[in-house]
Amino acid sequence: MERTMDFRNGRESDNVEDRRGQGGRGLRGGGKIGIGTIVLALVAMYFGIDPSVVLDTAMTDPAPVESTQTRPAAENAQARFVSMVLADTEDTWRTIFQQGGATYREPKLVLYTGATRSACGVGQAEMGPFYCPADAKVYLDLAFFDELHHRFGAPGDFAQAYVIAHEIGHHVQNLLGISDKVQQARTRVSEREANQLSVRLELQADCLAGIWAHHANRSRSVLEAGDIEEGLAAATAVGDDHIQKRSQGYAVPDSFTHGSAEQRRRWFAIGLQQGQFKSCDTFSAPRL
């Protein structure tokens, strides 16, 4: 049974940029792969996404989408939920940064359909949600939540909130300079070692998502019975081994860029239980 997080007393974020209904017309023309697409493919590879997804889909224009005026009420309610989760991450990380004597710079979250422009190039729905460090924005096509439910078997509001919080975790890493250090380190090592660094970066983002959930629940009691299980199920569903076994029937650990299902579940749980940034040091951890 799907659970509903309690955000009834929450606010909506002012940092949502709604591009739904704009579609992807004019982003690409004549079946050519532009510089923006190549840049996004490189960013996708950095964050562990198969760059061929970007390059393959760049050769075709996205299908037209309906206007915002004709969107189903359920989808608009989902967009409102996303806005409320984003607002809650803002409140949580602003407080955590203030406690550390720093200022939290809030990211934007872009809702789009099919394809959209980003400072990292053309974003594709096939890539799933992603964070672009060049413009400090999270990009999300709401259709991914249906895929999370039906393809990955991770339904529920908290599963969706986990996805948003994970991308916000990448924003936190960007603000702290962690992402840049990892990217620089990846250029000096083998492909296998570079993949391992990506895994540690992704697992830390999972842990940071757990920190958000810990503080949000302690200060505002937003979690209800069953929510934790939904989050853990979502973390498990997007593990590299889980995805590879679904797509090709077997897993190749050396190619992992996000971490196994067990690792992603474990580090989200660590952040959720401990609620402290020091507990999320995946780069020093002897065991992932």
Neighbour count for residue 32 (Cβ, 10 Å): 9
How far is it, in rounded angstroms, from Cα 179 to Cα 183? 6
Domain assignment of residue 213, yes or no:
yes
For residue range 143-156, list pLDDT tens digits in order. Answer: 999 999 988 888 88
pLDDT at res. 200: 96
pLDDT at res. 216: 85
Q: Which range in 34-38, 127-131, 181-185, 241-245 is most confidently predicted, on average pLDDT?
A: 181-185
Please choose, from the candidates 202, 281, 171, 129, the residue with its C-alpha nearest in 3D space to the C-alpha of residue 194.
Answer: 202
Q: Which range in 96-110, 138-152, 210-224 is most confidently predicted, on average pLDDT?
A: 96-110
Residue 26 pLDDT level (bands cut at 50, 70, 90): very low
Residue 85 pLDDT level (bands cut at 50, 70, 90): very high
pLDDT at res. 188: 96
Q: Is the pLDDT reported for residue 281 higher than 80?
A: yes
Domain assignment of residue 223, yes or no:
yes
How far is it, in rounded angstroms, from Cα 174 to Cα 188? 20
pLDDT at res. 162: 93
- For residues 224 and 218, which has the higher predicted lDDT (pLDDT)? 218
Across residues 113-128, what is the average pLDDT?
A: 90
Residue 124 pLDDT level (bands cut at 50, 70, 90): confident
- For residues 30 and 161, which has the higher predicted lDDT (pLDDT)? 161
Please choose, from the candidates 268, 133, 263, 259, the residue with its C-alpha nearest in 3D space to the C-alpha of residue 212.
Answer: 268
Residues 6+ apart with CB under 8 A from 119: 132, 134, 135, 137
Domain span at 224:
16-280
Domain assignment of residue 6, yes or no:
no
Residues 6+ apart with CB under 8 A from 196: none
Specify the pTM.
0.81
pLDDT at res. 57: 45
Q: Is the pLDDT reported for residue 33 higher than 50?
A: no
Q: Is the pLDDT reported for residue 62 higher than 70?
A: no
Token reading at 278: 């020091």
Domain assignment of residue 5, yes or no:
no
Q: Is the pLDDT reported for residue 51 higher than 60?
A: no
Domain assignment of residue 285, yes or no:
no
**Number of structural domains found in the chain:** 1
The CA dihedral of 141, 144, 146, 148, to the nearest 10 degrees, is -160
Q: Is the pLDDT reported for residue 25 higher than 60?
A: no
Across residues 123-149, what is the average pLDDT?
A: 92
pLDDT at res. 223: 74
Domain assignment of residue 44, yes or no:
yes
Domain assignment of residue 8, yes or no:
no
Lowest mean pLDDT, pick from 28-32, 134-138, 149-153: 28-32
Residue 2 pLDDT level (bands cut at 50, 70, 90): low
Q: Is the pLDDT reported for residue 224 higher than 80?
A: no
Domain assignment of residue 286, yes or no:
no
